């Protein structure tokens, strides 16, 4: 879920540094976290519509329809699946994907049903057909994506971003054998009416029905009320031209009924990371409390709702440490 842009140069704060154990350093070995901080601080203007060199495109058959996917990295590498949130897309991870590929992983991301290039996927394609995007639609689609991977790579390291964090967590709690680790990025850290805990507009979610929230939500993005950088705003507007408004409204309605999966997820014993920014739509302390309840490593970065865009090196480094144990 998009949020106001981050004005400060991303850097790892004290909570984040405690979240991941330090690696040995020396004259000939720079701390990877410090290197990640410098690389994130040096990020310039990004063409979000331009895919990295070596990117492969295809479409995955899922219960809701065909989902647009991009992949890169060695086919024999361990699998990493990055799932974007509402009004997002696979392009939200184009700064992270080459980092995983360079580390020897096979990394992929896909547009969820109704979003961007998966706009044709929807509840009317289900058997039997339905008239709304439900949580089961998204969880079954993720299961289809995970099942579509080459068996030789084993379970996947999965990241769920914002609403997709709920989707991925529900699937992990039910089918932990498909997961090698799970990262919840800026995911709803409270069950039930999670939108009410928004720091700035939580009151609006109490006054407006879930589906009706889609219209002002999309309008805010289209007119760039959060003042995102011009190059980012251009891509977001182009993406919204394809994204189904009904899918946005239905997802926001689902976020008012976020399931309480914490105990079931903790019981799986999976390696877990809860990552968010100090400027996220939910307070950082709420994310930290959620991480403690899950038994997850916490990662709090001085960014907004989208560390995958503003602190990709730091987020990737934290995930790699989780994934490598």
Does position 279 have pLDDT exceeding 70, yes or no? Answer: yes
Q: Sheet containing 156-161: which strands, arranged edge to edge? A: 56-62, 65-72, 106-110, 79-83, 156-161, 179-185, 272-277, 297-301
Which of 109-113, 222-226, 278-282 is least confident?
222-226
The share of the chain scoring above pLDDT 90, in percent, equals 68
Record the pTM.
0.86
d(CA 55, CA 105): 13
Cα distance from N-terminal residue to C-terminal residue, the chain: 29
pLDDT tens profile 37-68: 999 999 999 999 999 999 999 999 999 999 99
Strand partners, 154: none
Residue in 120, 129, 75, 72 with CA at minimum distance from that of residue 96: 72
User: Domains (ranges, CATH) in the chain?
Assistant: 14-19+37-324 (3.40.50.1820)
- Letter string b/e over residues 205-237, b meaning 16 or more CB atoms within 10 A of that residue's CB: beebebbebbeebbeebeebebebeeebbebbe
Per-residue model confidence (pLDDT) at position 6: 42
Per-residue model confidence (pLDDT) at position 96: 98
pLDDT tens profile 124-151: 999 999 999 999 999 999 999 999 877 6
pLDDT tens profile 261-270: 999 999 999 9
Residue in 194, 217, 196, 220 with CA at minimum distance from that of residue 206: 196
Cα angle for residues 60, 65, 66 (degrees, 5° grid): 30
């Amino acid at each position: 879920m998009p949020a106001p842009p981050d004005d400060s140069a991303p850097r790892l704060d004290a909570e984040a540094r405690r979240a991941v154990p330090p690696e040995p350093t020396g004259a000939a070995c720079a701390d990877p976290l410090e290197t990640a901080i410098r690389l994130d601080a040096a990020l310039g203007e990004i063409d979000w519509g331009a895919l990295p060199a070596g990117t492969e495109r295809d479409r995955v058959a899922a219960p809701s329809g065909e989902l647009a996917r991009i992949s890169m990295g060695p086919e024999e590498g361990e699998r990493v699946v990055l799932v974007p949130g509402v009004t997002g897309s696979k392009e939200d991870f184009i700064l992270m994907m080459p980092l995983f590929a360079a580390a020897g992983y096979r990394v992929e991301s896909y547009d969820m049903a109704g979003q961007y290039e998966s706009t044709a996927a929807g509840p009317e394609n289900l058997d039997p057909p339905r008239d709304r995007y439900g949580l089961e639609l998204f969880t079954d689609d993720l299961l289809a994506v995970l099942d579509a991977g080459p068996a030789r790579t084993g379970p996947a390291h999965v990241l769920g971003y914002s609403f997709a964090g709920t989707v991925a967590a529900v699937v992990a709690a039910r089918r932990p054998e498909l997961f090698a680790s799970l990262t919840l990025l800026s995911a709803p850290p409270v069950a039930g009416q999670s939108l009410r805990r928004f720091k700035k507009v939580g009151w609006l979610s109490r006054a407006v029905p879930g589906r009706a929230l889609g219209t002002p939500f999309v309008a805010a993005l289209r007119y760039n009320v959060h003042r995102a950088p011009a190059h980012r705003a251009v891509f977001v507007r182009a993406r919204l031209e394809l994204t189904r408004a009904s899918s946005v409204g239905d997802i926001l309605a689902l976020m008012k009924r976020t399931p309480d999966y914490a105990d079931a997820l903790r019981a799986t014993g999976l390696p877990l990371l809860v990552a968010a920014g100090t400027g996220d739509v939910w307070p950082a302390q709420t994310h930290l409390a959620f991480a403690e309840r899950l038994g997850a490593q916490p990662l709090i970065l001085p960014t907004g709702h989208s560390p995958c865009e503003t602190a990709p090196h730091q987020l990737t480094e934290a995930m790699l440490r989780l994934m490598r144990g």
